[in-house]
Structure 1
Amino acid sequence: MELDENLLRFMFLCGDLKKVKRKGWVERGIPNVESVADHSHRMAIFALLLGTKTKANRNRCIMMALVHDLAECLVGDITPSDGVSKEEKHSREKSAMRHITDMVPCKEMRDEIMDLWEEYESGVSLEAQLVKDIDKFEMIAQAYQYERESGVRGKLQDFFDSTEDKFRTDSIRKWSTSLRNIRDKND
């Protein structure tokens, strides 16, 4: 694929995710919070760490992790505190994804990015379930990291509470249990 102005605009939009701060952390007053790009990158690394012991297509999980929040470069990080319904959030993000992917000159690549995003949103496939679990796990891993860095244990307990019993896949459920045990042990 050759680099043209549209593809460059797409690349710049993807780069804008480095400027979009994760709103949940900002609302909690955490200094120097991660960006959406930081979050997506670590999710992709976590998907890589799944190894070959999962029946899921690991490469598809990595790609899905990379594009799952791509719409946020246009719509921002919409959180429950914004009072936006799930349907409205999905509609905004789908419209943004169409706009974003329209910049990709190769139809096959455009379709692949959109398909990955829609698969993630639907949450039906094993890969989508894993990546949704990784999304939640990355959030609590980040919460634990912020707690350790700030020295204030429990400050972000609501993030842990919001994911309690929400993991659908065995591998990420085990990671969550281990993380919670490590957090409790270091209390």
Structure 2
Amino acid sequence: MTADKAIQANGVSDPAAGKLDAKEAETSAWTVESVLAEITPRYAENTDSPVPFFHLLERLKTTKRAGWRRFGISDCESISDHMYRMSILTMMAPSSISSKLDILRCCRMALVHDMAESLVGDITPVDNVSKEEKGRRESETMDYICTNLLGKFNGGLNGKDVRQLWQEYEDSKTPESLFVHDIDKIELLLQMVEYERASGFERDLGEFTWVALKIQSDEVKVWAEQVFRERQDMWKQAGKTPSWRADTEPKAKS
């Protein structure tokens, strides 16, 4: 379980992460089967075809990122929207990064890192699900996808590859996985600014700015600073002052 698992709902920390109460004990009865029971028709399992898996991916296209919906953004990005831009961002890694990392692996990791949300959904702190319970649900979902849906396709090689990529991201130990975690955060910050701009600066999403402090690589930190200065300038031009968290507002250049 990674430290980032305490950062749920598009970067908002869960103050009760790791704790179980009566409601949590009840919701921990969640199983992959309980979700599949509501899907008609069910995905064909244990076949030598990847088509059932292809159909499951549609859920990533239609499931909205729940964190944004808390702020009244009903027509917000989907899970696959988020993963797609992340994969493109990895391809934009400067040579100082691409010379050291397997960027193709980073791109692929970005495309699968939230795949479990196809059945689990995008869990937020208000759902009162601990990071341990969230991890259990996601791990069991990936086992289902990579074994029941992909286990007999191409000798199970593709399923094993997807499962390994997802686990590598979760474990957050390799340089590639750490870079993709940084990309996850900068993609969130980009979307934050874009939703503020789309609202005519009526919507202040400054609550999410603290996520920038979790970025580790210097190169992505530079991108975050550029996004924040852009945000600062746009709000100033609108004649308004946005909120900032954890002293993240860019300082005046000397």
Fold agreement, TM-score > 0.5:
yes
Structure 2 counterparts to residues 1-187 of structure 1, below 5 A: 6-54=49-97, 55-102=100-147, 103-104=149-150, 105-106=153-154, 107-152=156-201, 155-161=204-210, 163-187=211-235
Shift in Å, 1:81: 2.2
Other structure's SS at 1:151 match: coil
Identical aligned pairs, as a percentage? 38
Aligned equivalents of 2:48 and 2:164: distance in 1? 23
CA distance in 1, matches of 2:48, 2:162: 19
What do residues 97-127 of structure 1 show as CA deviations (whole Å, max 9, x unaligned)? 0111121113221111001000000111111
Distance 2:176 2:212 in 1: 21
Equivalent position amino acid for 1:175 in 2: W
**Inter-partner Cα distance in structure 2 for 1:159 and 1:84:** 20
Contact 1:75 1:96 in 2 (8 A): yes
d(CA) in 1 for partners of 2:49 and 2:138?
A: 20
Shift of 1:154: 6.0
Deviation beyond 2 Å, 4+ runs, structure 1: none
SS of 1:165's equivalent in the other structure is helix
Using the alignment, how far apart are the partners of 1:165 and 1:66 within structure 2?
A: 24
Contact map agreement 2:185 2:212 (CA 8 A) in 1? no
RMSD: 1.5
Gaps of 5+ in 2: 1-46, 236-254
- Amino acid aligned to 1:178: Q
Q: Which amino acid aligns with 1:186?
A: M
Deviation at 1:7, TM superposition (A): 1.1
What is the CA-CA distance between 1:186 and the residue it aligns to?
Answer: 1.9
1:175 shift after superposition? 0.8
Structure with the higher fraction of residues in helix conformation: 1
Rounded to whole Å, the distance in 1 between the matches of 2:112 and 2:59 is 13
Distance 1:68 1:23, change over 3 A: same
User: For residues 212 and 164 of structure 2, what CA distance do their matches in structure 1 show?
Assistant: 29
Structure with higher Rg: it is: 2
Q: What residue identity is the alignment partner of 1:33?
A: C
Normalised by the length of structure 1, the TM-score is 0.92
Distance 1:29 1:160 in 2: 18
Superposed CA deviations along residues 3-59 of structure 1, whole A, max 9, x for unmatched, are x67411101111210111000111110141000010000100111111443111110
In the aligned structure 2, how far is the partner of 1:25 from the partner of 1:5?
Answer: 38
Within 1, Cα distance between the matches of 2:141 and 2:82?
A: 19
Deviations 1:136-178 (A, max 9, x none): 11111001000001112661111113x0411011221111111
Aligned length: 183
Q: Name the stretch that deviates more: 34-43 or 72-81.
A: 72-81
Q: Quick one: which amino acid aligns to residue 128 of structure 2? A: G
Q: Which amino acid aligns with 1:65?
A: A
For residues 37-91 of structure 1, give each alpha carbon's deviation from its aligned partner in whole angstroms, at most 9, with x where no partner exists. Answer: 1000010011111144311111011000000000000000012222211111111
- 1:21, 1:35 within 8 Å by CA — same for their partners in 2? yes
Q: 1:153 to 1:59 in 2, by over 3 A?
A: farther
SS at match of 2:132: helix
- More divergent stretch after superposition (48-57 vs 67-76): 48-57
- Which structure 1 residue ranges, 5 or more long, are not aligned? none
**Would the aligned equivalents of 1:52 and 1:58 in 2 still touch at CA under 8 Å?**
no
